[in-house]
Amino acid sequence: MREARLTIAFDADDTLWHNENLFEEHHRKYCQLLAEYHDAETVESTLFRTEMRNLELYGYGVKSFTLSSIETAIKLTDGAIPAEELRRIIDFGKDMLAHPVELIEGAAEAVEALSRQHELILITKGDLRDQERKIAKSGLAPYFKHIEVVSNKNNEDYARLFRQHLIDPQSLVMVGNSLKSDILPILELGGTGVHIPYHLTWEHERVEAAPKHHSKFHEIASIKQLQDLIASL
């Protein structure tokens, strides 16, 4: 169906622009800040548990991460951490929010080229304000017919979105770096999943293995290969 018009949905963070590297940088500075109290492994695992416990209440995003980082630092130091160091954690978070958007190599070209033949939508998870800012900074917004910021990406969330936009999942291709959030739910709904791994994956997004034998699952190493793959579908 080389000539057919498809709906191609893109994830944003770590698919179109770098994101997880900012969190990695925060983690590094955070472990340094708490180094006199605990080793990095204890800090990381306690922070992760705090984040998971708060996920239902806070949702995803930098503000949630900052609040969980402060809570963890207080807990790990039995309240001994000086307020000024907690202030530095707030500043780490602000730096992340104010950070420029760094597009992944080839992302702008792929989106622009594919938008000429297909209908593109952007489906991104996280904090509304932060995602909107990143979308605006990316310069890619004009190529997308719909831009959806969602609080979660499970089967029901996608199904609701597709109903709302009258999209048949069978003719939808979703492109993303997270097997758990971008690929597996789409395959279950009957769509096509194109996985482009990012070199970093947040522990929460990790799954056991890629569904390599699923007929509608594809994996490419770089978004630069996306046009060719789409043309071959």
Residues that bind a copy of itself (CB under 8 A): 54, 57-60, 63-64, 66-67, 70-71, 73-74, 77, 79-84, 86-87, 90, 93-94, 97-98, 127-130, 132, 149-151
The least distance separating a copy of itself from the CB of residue 192, rounded to whole angstroms, comes to: 26
Residue nearer to a copy of itself on the CB measure, 74 or 207: 74
3-state secondary structure of 168: coil
Which residue has tokens 């997270």?
178
3-state secondary structure of 144: coil
HSE on the CB side for 135, CA within 13 Å? 23
The least distance separating a copy of itself from the CB of residue 221, rounded to whole angstroms, comes to: 32
CA angle at 15 for the pair 31 and 41, rounded to the nearest 5°? 20
Residue nearer to a copy of itself on the CB measure, 52 or 90: 90
The least distance separating a copy of itself from the CB of residue 59, rounded to whole angstroms, comes to: 3
Residue nearer to a copy of itself on the CB measure, 79 or 199: 79
Question: What whole-number distance in Å separates Cα of residue 157 and Cα of residue 154?
Answer: 5
The least distance separating a copy of itself from the CB of residue 135, rounded to whole angstroms, comes to: 11
Residue nearer to a copy of itself on the CB measure, 85 or 203: 85
Amino acid at site 153: K
Question: What whole-number distance in Å separates Cα of residue 101 and Cα of residue 32?
Answer: 25
Residue nearer to a copy of itself on the CB measure, 1 or 57: 57
DSSP H or E stretch at residue 121: strand 119-125
